[in-house]
Amino acid sequence: MNHPAVTALVVDDSNSFRQHLSNILRVELGFDSIIEASSADEAAELIDSNKHNIGWIFTDWEMSGMTGGELLLHVRSRPDMVNVPFIMMTDNEDMKARSMAMQEGVTDFITKPFETEDLVSKVLRLLGMMEVRRSPRFHLNAKCRLDIGFDDFQQYSAELINISKHGCLIRTSRFYADTGHVLDIGTIYIKPNSTDEEIVSGVEIVRMERDNKVKDHVLVALDFQEMDEPNFRRLRGLMSASEMRQKAMQH
């Protein structure tokens, strides 16, 4: 499997586990460049040195000194590392702590101990999602009303930041603690002010992070799930209109 010329950073206070994980990344997933850190403090120094093109981070959560959660905050505070995949490895099932990590920008969790195939499938899934996100995204000129819901009782109003044929990025208030986590499935309703045709689609939450611009809000990346043909036509029409407007503004 081919990877970009990036380095995977493996962080764990167990030397044997670091070697085991590095071997999986190298042999099973084809990572050529891997560096290891025995603590989150050491990892932060490696990151801040800017000597390595770190493109993936795999870290234990509970370590002495700086924790994996604190390393996450450190990484996401760097504008150049906002989108670096950050995999938290943990045996901690505390959902409140996990929810906080999701809102701070963790990409995914894997529960220790795990089987090799579990990690491989998770990384392959994330690679597929990253490829999807490279598709053209549009900032809509037309104002839209957007709502997202997880059931009949949990509905949130949201602001549409950008959109593609595969998914969208929204800004919304923080979700209730018992729902709105990464991998949760919901439904969005997009209604442009200029038309009566509403776009409805199932969505999966693929990333959440704290919004540094609006207090008590989060940015949520969503992938569309099984959108039917009428709704897909409305989506394509909305993006085509936005693309034409953007090209006209450039000339």
Give one DSSP letter per residue of 159-199, joined into a string. Answer: EEEEE-SSEEEEEEEPPPTTS--TT-EEEEEEEETT-S--E
Window from 47-51, 127-131, 199-203 with minimum mean pLDDT: 127-131
Residues sharing a CB contact under 8 Å with residue 179, sequence separation 6 or more, in sequence order: 150, 151, 154
Mean pLDDT of 83-101: 80
Whether the predicted pLDDT of 142 surpasses 70: no
* CATH number, domain 144-250, options 2.60.40.1250, 3.40.30.10, 1.10.3720.10, 2.40.10.220: 2.40.10.220
Residue 88 is classified by DSSP as E
Range with the poorest average pLDDT among 107-116, 135-144, 232-241:
135-144
pLDDT averaged over the chain?
83
Each residue of 28-37: pLDDT tens digit?
Answer: 888 889 999 9
The fourth-level CATH superfamily of domain 7-132 is Response regulator (3.40.50.2300)
Amino acid at 122: K
136, amino acid identity: P
What is the model's pLDDT at position 148?
A: 92
- 185 beta partners: 204
One-letter amino acid at 234 equals R
Domain locations in the chain? 7-132, 144-250
User: What are the angstrom distances between the C-alpha of 200 and each of 147, 152, 204?
Assistant: 10, 15, 13
pLDDT above 80 for 198: yes
Average pLDDT over residues 214-225: 86
